[in-house]
Structure 1
Amino acid sequence: MTGGLPPPLRPSTAPPPPSVTRALHAINTCTTAAALAPIRGAILGDRALLRSTAVVSAFFLACGRLRHLDPALSLFACHPRPHVFVFNSLLRSLGRAPARSPLPLFRHFLRCRGVRPNRFTFPLLLTSLSSLADLRAVHCQVVKSGFGPDLHVRNALLARYADCDPDLAHAEQMFDEMPRPEVVAWTTMITSYRNRGRTFHALATFRRMLAAHVAPNRVTMVAALGACAAHCAVDTGIWIHEYVQKQGWEMDVVLGTALVDMYGKCGKVSDGMHVFSKMAKRNVYTWNSIIGALALAQDGKTALQWFSRMQNDGVQPDEVTLICVLCACAHAGFVDIGRKIFNLAIQGEYGFQPGIKHFGCMVDLLSRSGHLDDAFRVVETMPSQPNAVIWGLLLRGCRARGDSWLSEHVTMRLVELEPENASHYVLLSNLYAETGRWQEAQGILHWMKKKGLRKDAGWSLRMLEDKSKKYTTDGLHFRDGVYI
């Protein structure tokens, strides 16, 4: 017996049968869903085509490309012994969040004799799952099939648990059970915490990863910078920036935008501008980060200058850009400029129609500047039903300007919109009391008590200073003419 390795395998030089070549050409050039059914019939009618993994896999992928999966599912159901490569192609054709669960297909595949999943099957299957019950069922099958220790499969499981589990309990348990999590697993947890608003946990996990001597990658840093921005953890954000510079990483558009956004939301707009100037490529999200930071800093003049610069550079504004610009106008009191930009959006100048947030910004701009009648007309002419936030913005302007009549009208709209919200009735009672309509104010409070509506308890500095006293209200008392 000779030692060493066997001779290398050589690819077959035999050409495929003509029927296979014709079928592949028909599948790859298929452009309509109506043509899939005849191709399926041809495959079922020719055993050579049905045995060809290339033909069947190409057909499944064509069904996914044309978003018409019924022919693929029916062909799979008729296949006596599908190769694992064929089944994996079917899973690829399903894509993310399919209309039906892929578990019945997986169970059918497992019942076929002589076939079993491989390490690529489970990640493809997991991406199609959306419920915890299905995910746990597949997890059990992963363990039974012996793929539990596989790094690729384990990371895919963790990612799906992180996506499907609202409180991340299952993902946390799985992560804690990993003997030595690598960077992909750490990044999954950091990103999941950030996406759920648990920024403290995201940053704590980031620090744990560094303490475990696991080197972060670009995706890790982008997720951590998002948590820094939401948590105002500027020191950690600066440390990440310094780490990126020491590693000599290229400041690509994703990482650069994350840094610009972090600096802007942490109040260091000039540092964000410096990062912006060093970026070779920028996209609309990069520009939005700068303009949004200036709007947050209430520097409306500079925000508008950057908006003009963005357009001069040929970058098309999107919905978020207009929200940032209109907010900047509202804080700076640039009523005419805000009107002009909003009207251009209405005319389709920016390629989209304003949404409810744009109308809200416009109502806020006009209300802050005292143009209450114009703000009311904007609300009344909205294409969609104004929500409580829109009416609340108008009400704030009315209260600030002392317009009691319009304040009462807007509050009545809020009552109609949210009849179970006790705070609207309290506000209406206060409005009556401020204008000397005591009986009407008292009547509303009595009606609230009869209906069992109570305003949520509030706190004051006096209550915190004197903890020995208990402050309560039955909902029917006034102080200085205002309900407390």
Structure 2
Amino acid sequence: MLKSMSSSDDHLVSLIVSSTGKSHLRQIHAVLLRTSLIRSSDVFHHFLSRLAPRDLDYSRHVFSQRSNPSVSHCNTMIRAFSLSETPGEGFRLFRALRRKTFPPANPLSSSFALKCCIKSGDLLGGGLQIHGKIFSDGFLSDSLLLTTLMDFYSTYENSAAACKVFDEIPKRDTVSYNVLISCFLRNKRTRDVLFLFDKMMKEVDGCVRPDGVTCLLALQACASLGALDFGTQVHDFIDGNGLGCALNLNNTLVSMYSRCGSMDKAYEVFNRMRERNVVSWTAMITGLAMNGFGKEAIEAFQKMLKCGISPEEHTLTGLLSACSHSGLVHEGMMFFDRLKSGEFKMKPNLHHYGCIVDLLGRARLLDKAYSLVQSMEMKPDSTIWRTLLGACRVQGNVELGERVISHLIELKAEEAGDYVLLLNTYSSVGNWEKVTELRSLMKEKRIHTKPGFSAMEVQGKVHEFIVDDVSHPRKEEIYKMLAEINQQLKIAGYVAEVASELHNLDSEEEKGHALTYHSEKLAIAFGILMTPPGTTIRVTKNLRTCVDCHNFAKFVSRVYDRVVIVRDRSRFHHFKGGFCSCNDFW
């Protein structure tokens, strides 16, 4: 067959395009060299386009033999480098192309070079140079090129520049909107995602209608914010536009509902799915875990195995996390032993060890947790030590907490939050001298703590609160409502947990007053103010909820007959009738 290739270029091109194996392509190369057809620019382009994605090293050699590569030849190689582990080579080839007097680069050259910068992650200066060339070359009317430029700025977390480029795109399509939304997500501008998606759904201000990718990104934003109402709107849009059978969207819906604390709806979506893969089961198991349904997560895992689906690493992380959050020590250790035995065809990773350390730490088995960390087959990372440090804080184990901090310092991985955990440990046992010393050290090292905030969604709008917040337009009504709630709770027997106050104040009364205006309490008061009786109150918090706010929510659920769902840094707390789903184990 190879002998007959020389009869016509068309037949040759057809043969090249149909070839997939490296050895076959190399045979074709030999014939091209022997017949001199390699000199044909068109034939060489088709051959290089087929070879480069499959055998980059050989393509590099073939390309270097070309004395006068065309722009299309260069673009083929730049594109191949952008998909490889050596994207920097693609950018260097682009610069070499730019330095030539001929042939001139075209928009595709710039687009592929930008993708090299995106893949590399450390070519910010290169991307800025390309942006300048796009301007000087007069390519600002190329919508596809500007969309790639947006993606570049998004990757390097410059959302302002990405928005500016978006505004300059002459003809925006769904892809350009999706890149902008992805940029907002990457830069934690989640509320902007919801605002833009809403405009796209309504097709106002020239916006195009969302597609499946847009919905996927919007659901991720809803999950991050705990915006259940808006997530339900996205779900309705998906079903109303024929996208309800997409497996990836259904998987994301299960995850979104779970992360918004609505396991009923997550289960409803999961049950109606015609097809389920390991991602579907993992989303369900993880959702049950974070919402405190440990036994149900184990049941789901066992059903998955019966369906013949093998677990992935994330599945086991969700399962072990379920045991940790529900205090199922025996079950957690049993699954961990099965994992170590090789039953699931994988070895425990750092996340799996972290779940077991968390499980043992929550169960007040700190010595056993510390021994496990020291006996790990791989070197413990900062997350493992941080998990143990959190358990030390809960149990007031100062000695072990100091040892854990020393390990973090040794790893050069200590963060502001670690010092705060140790600070909390000292204050919980009343060691105010150590608190003062540590605060001085933090000030000396210029360590700034992450401020806590709580958010809740009302009528599709997300409201955020910080401690002692006075920025909300309805602050007077909120504080009045909070005072009324506190009065009702005290009648029911609520007493502030003053151990949660980490400052050395003179009296119990002062400490109780300081606890009154924590962000969760302001959010809950706002929820009671703004919603009809019986409505579930959902609050999302970026840090771990304190013992006093946990008790406060339990009393609110009983006195006001409300379900209160609080998602803190690591799990959900479902408060109902004066009890929490975590059974005070968090």
Compare relative contact order (CA 8 Å, sep 6+) and give the higher one, 1 or 2. Answer: 2
Q: CA RMSD in A?
A: 4.3
Match of 1:390 among 384, 388, 402: 384
Match of 1:411 among 395, 399, 402: 402
Fraction of identical pairs, as percent: 26
1:67-88 CA-to-partner distances (Å, cap 9, x unmatched) read 41xx544543553432343233
Distance 1:108 1:396 in 2: 53
| 1:76 alignment counterpart | 63
The answer (yes or no) to whether the contact 1:446–1:476 under 8 Å persists in 2 is no
The one-letter code of the counterpart of 2:295 is K
1:258-300 CA-to-partner distances (Å, cap 9, x unmatched) read 1111111111111111111222222222222211111121011
Distance 2:441 2:161 in 1: 44
Match of 1:86 among 73, 80, 98: 73
Q: 1:265 to 1:245 in 2, by over 3 A?
A: same
1:16 Cα deviation after fit: 2.8
The one-letter code of the counterpart of 2:54 is R
Match of 1:125 among 113, 117, 130: 113
1:145-176 CA-to-partner distances (Å, cap 9, x unmatched) read 4443123223222222322x223222111012
| 2:544 alignment counterpart | none
Match of 1:317 among 311, 322, 333: 311
Match of 1:58 among 44, 47, 52: 47
The answer (yes or no) to whether the contact 1:24–1:55 under 8 Å persists in 2 is no
2:341 is the counterpart of 1:354: no
Q: 1:19 to 1:316 in 2, by over 3 A?
A: closer
SS, match of residue 148 in structure 1: coil
The one-letter code of the counterpart of 2:179 is T
SS, match of residue 65 in structure 1: coil
Distance 1:125 1:52 in 2: 22
| 2:578 alignment counterpart | none
Name the TM-score, length of structure 1 as normaliser. 0.77
1:215-274 CA-to-partner distances (Å, cap 9, x unmatched) read 111110100111011011111111111112222334211111111111111111111111
Name the TM-score, length of structure 2 as normaliser. 0.65
SS, match of residue 166 in structure 1: coil
1:207 Cα deviation after fit: 2.7
1:107 Cα deviation after fit: 4.4
Distance 1:429 1:175 in 2: 50
Distance 1:376 1:105 in 2: 52
2:212 is the counterpart of 1:218: yes
2:277 is the counterpart of 1:283: yes
Q: How does 1:453-468 map to 2 (within 5 A)?
A: 464=468
Q: 1:99 to 1:107 in 2, by over 3 A?
A: closer
The one-letter code of the counterpart of 2:82 is G
SS, match of residue 240 in structure 2: helix
Distance 2:75 2:441 in 1: 63
The answer (yes or no) to whether the contact 2:77–2:90 under 8 Å persists in 1 is no
The answer (yes or no) to whether the contact 2:159–2:187 under 8 Å persists in 1 is no
Q: How does 1:252-263 map to 2 (within 5 A)?
A: 252-263=246-257
| 2:534 alignment counterpart | none
The answer (yes or no) to whether the contact 2:154–2:162 under 8 Å persists in 1 is yes
- Name which of structure 1's ranges 153-162 and 211-220 shifts more when overlaid on structure 2: 153-162
Distance 1:113 1:449 in 2: 60
Distance 2:391 2:186 in 1: 33
1:94 Cα deviation after fit: 1.7
| 2:141 alignment counterpart | 149
Count of residues in Structure 1 that have an aligned counterpart in Structure 2: 445
Where structure 1 has 5 or more consecutive residues not aligned to the other structure, the ranges are 1-12, 467-474
The answer (yes or no) to whether the contact 1:429–1:445 under 8 Å persists in 2 is no
Distance 1:295 1:368 in 2: 15
The one-letter code of the counterpart of 2:388 is L
| 1:174 alignment counterpart | 165
Q: 1:24 to 1:276 in 2, by over 3 A?
A: closer
Match of 1:192 among 179, 183, 187: 183
SS, match of residue 159 in structure 1: helix
Distance 2:355 2:286 in 1: 13
Structure showing greater Rg: 1
2:229 is the counterpart of 1:241: no
The answer (yes or no) to whether the contact 2:52–2:77 under 8 Å persists in 1 is no
